[in-house]
Structures are given as C-alpha cells and as structure tokens.
Amino acid sequence: MPLKVETSLEPMESRPVEEIPEGDNWLYEPKWDGFRCLAFRSGNKVELQSKSGQSLARYFPELVEALLALKPKQFALDGEIVIPDDHGSFSFDQLLQRVHPAASRVKKLSIETPCIYIVFDLLADSRGNSLVKTPLKERRELLQDFLSKIDNRNGTIQISPATRDITTARRWFGAAGAATDGIMAKLLDEPYDSGTRDGMVKIKPVRTADCVVGGFRYAAKGKIVGSLLLGLYDDAGLLNHIGFCSGMTNAMRQELTPRLEKLIKSPGFTGSAPGGPSRWSNGRSAEWEPLKPELVVEVGWSHFTGGRFRHGTKFLRWRPDKAPAQCKLEQVATPGAGAMRLLGKN
C-alpha cells in the first residue's frame, strides 16, 4: 500500500517571536539545532528529505537502516537529525562533515559518530494514512503511541520532549545556547500546514558578548571590509577565533576599511585561528587579514557550540572602554542542562 501523503511535502515552518506565548492551547518543545528532516517509509524504501527538499538518505545510512528495521512498513515523520558529542550535547560540525561526496567517508562517520533522529510529528500513520489535516493534539498522541510500540534498541530514534507547562518551557529556554537553540511553541488545534508559519513560533535567546577583532575578511567584490573575525581569550591567555560579524552598513564598511588596514599584523589569533580554503569555502572568501588585538566590539549572539558561534553575530557597538584582555571565553558559558538529558539520556 503506497503512502497517502506526498513525499515531496514541505515542512511546516515557524515564525520568530520575542516572548514565549502562554495559554492552554500551546505545546512547547526544545528547539533542536540539527538538520530538519522529513522521513518517509513506503515498503522497503526510505527517503530522508531536508528542509530544502534535498535527499539526505546517502549521508545518514544508519538512520535509513534504523527506519527500515521498524515493524511498520508505512509512515511519515518530521524531526531533527543530530549527532551527540562527548559532553552530553550535540555537534553541528560533525553533522556538516556528513555532507561528503565519498560514500566510504560517510560510512566511516556513521559508525564512529552515529546520529539520533529526534521526532516531533507524525505525518502518516502505520497504514500510510495522511495525518496532515489532523490537529497537533491528536498527532502528538498518535506519535507517542507509534513510537512506544517500535523496537528501538540502539536509540537512533527518539521522541522530542514536549510540555504544556509554561514553567518547564521557561526552564528549557534558560538552558538554551549550548544544549538547544531555543523553544518551539505550537498551537494544539492546528493541522500540519506545510510551508506556512501560522501555527508554530520559535523563541531564540539573544545574548551579548564583548569580542576582540582579531582579523577581517574583504568583501567578495572591491577592497572593502566584508566581515570582522571575532576572538576571545582563554585561561592560558590565547586569543581564539570564535566566529564572525558581518551586519554592518556600507557606509560603516567604507569608514572602517582604512582603520583596520592600519592594524594589520600577524598572527591575529594566537589560539585557534580561522581555517583556510575547503570544500565549503575557497579562494578569496577564505582569505583573511590578521590584526593587532586592539579593537573590541559588542555583538549579539544566540547559540555557541563547539567553540564557535553557531550563527553569524549581530554588530551592536564598539567598546573603546573595554580592554581586549578583558574579553574572555567565560562570557559565552551557557547553562549545561545537556541536550541528551532533555531526551532522558545520561
């Protein structure tokens, strides 16, 4: 029996808000920082679909194998692919390593650093019937029943914790930054509206940090500053590259370029430094200019993992009143609730 749901289904989207909404009609979940993935099984065929509609199946063979091992032959799931690190959290860098052209490399990584699929929605049941028009409240109950009956001995497939308790949701939100990427809030009476943002919102924490400008990159066109390379000092006094900032006006870039060029001096970073060309970046986009560690900038950030800001930061202001040596890594320390503990794992 074929699935009665489109396997090219777009995932339901969310819109950002600043505050966690309150009320009996909301369900709260941690916002996982991984690869969004719709999983479809029809008979002996499994497809993993990314948020952009691309196939992920070749990059996560262990997940395909786990889904094929389930007794139900028909279903569709929505969830997030993550890879646990050695500290009870998740590593986005290890996820990126999976997107590799060599099947042998992917296979090796799937054994060394296996993924987890955190499921938060059921889009088609074990008979292949579509549930996209079913309210979330019912879909969540069906998902819990579906996953409670499967043989999942290796733990590859996990259900995302969810709560209707605002206090618990706020506690999860307070732990965001390392363990998770924030909070999702979903309306219980809403169907699965593919591609829309009406029934689901996301709340991400925004924190600030004072960082040393240890280098910069020129823009792709013209000899003008494209991005600032940010650093923080560790306990050994080494300046470590921890991300970048590019949210500046063109006028600011024009004014800043000659100022930075006067400060060019190696090494820039004395600890971890920006990488060179790779399959993700090449040519001029990977080149950077080292600076004397004199300038301090305050940036806004939301997620720090693996020694780096997970996303680009937001330029807020210059801090001439702050000494570079005062810019320490302890600024980005986040509460360690532990992503694995949120899943009930030690």
* Residue numbers annotated as active site: 31
Q: Which residues contact 70 (CB under 8 A, 6 or more apart)?
A: 41, 150, 151, 152, 157
138, β-bridge pairs? none
Per DSSP bridges, beta strands 239-245 and 74-82 are unpaired
Q: Which residues contact 225 (CB under 8 A, 6 or more apart)?
A: 216, 217, 218, 219, 248, 253, 256, 257, 260
Dist. CA 322–CA 32, nearest whole Å = 34
DSSP 3-state percent helix, strand, coil across the chain (nearest 5):
20, 30, 45
Residue 243 CB-density burial (10 A; 0-12 exposed, 13-18 middle, 19+ buried): buried
Dist. CA 76–CA 83, nearest whole Å = 21
